[in-house]
Amino acid sequence: MGTSLVERAGLADTRLAAAIRRRPLLTRWLLAGPGALVAAVATMMAMPLWVPPGAAGVNDIALPIILTPLLWAVPFFYAVLEEDLVRGVAVLGLAILVQGAAIAVALLG
């Protein structure tokens, strides 16, 4: 069968994975608290790049603000419900990096 995302990323047997498995409560707390907030803010900041402006020209600004609770709830519940914390850290970390890269490219030109 195929390999998991964590195995492909090389996180399965690293010191980071061992530290995550050693302190699951702290990891889940950090992932669902500050991790979910950073993921939500990064997604909200990147949304004007891929949301069309609409007829009035404000949809790309208004929609991210209106959807902020949903943008926070998705990574929060994912972090709370994910059984494999190493995979959860990898997925949320990748989401934050991708959105952050989109923001950096837009700001730097």
Number of domains in the chain: 1
Does residue 63 fall inside a structural domain?
yes
Does residue 38 fall inside a structural domain?
yes
Query: Model's pTM, two decimal places?
Result: 0.81
Does residue 16 fall inside a structural domain?
no
Q: With contact defined as beta carbons under 8 Å apart, do 36 and 93 qualify?
A: no
C-alpha to C-alpha distance for 43 and 68, rounded to whole angstroms: 9
Does residue 18 fall inside a structural domain?
no
- Closest by CA to 77, choosing from 17, 35, 26, 16, is 35
- Residue 46's domain spans which residues? 24-108
Does residue 59 fall inside a structural domain?
yes
Does residue 32 fall inside a structural domain?
yes
Does residue 80 fall inside a structural domain?
yes
Does residue 69 fall inside a structural domain?
yes
Note down pLDDT in tens along the chain; length 109 residues. 566 666 666 655 688 888 999 999 999 999 999 999 999 999 999 998 888 888 888 888 888 999 989 999 999 999 999 999 999 999 999 999 999 999 999 999 7
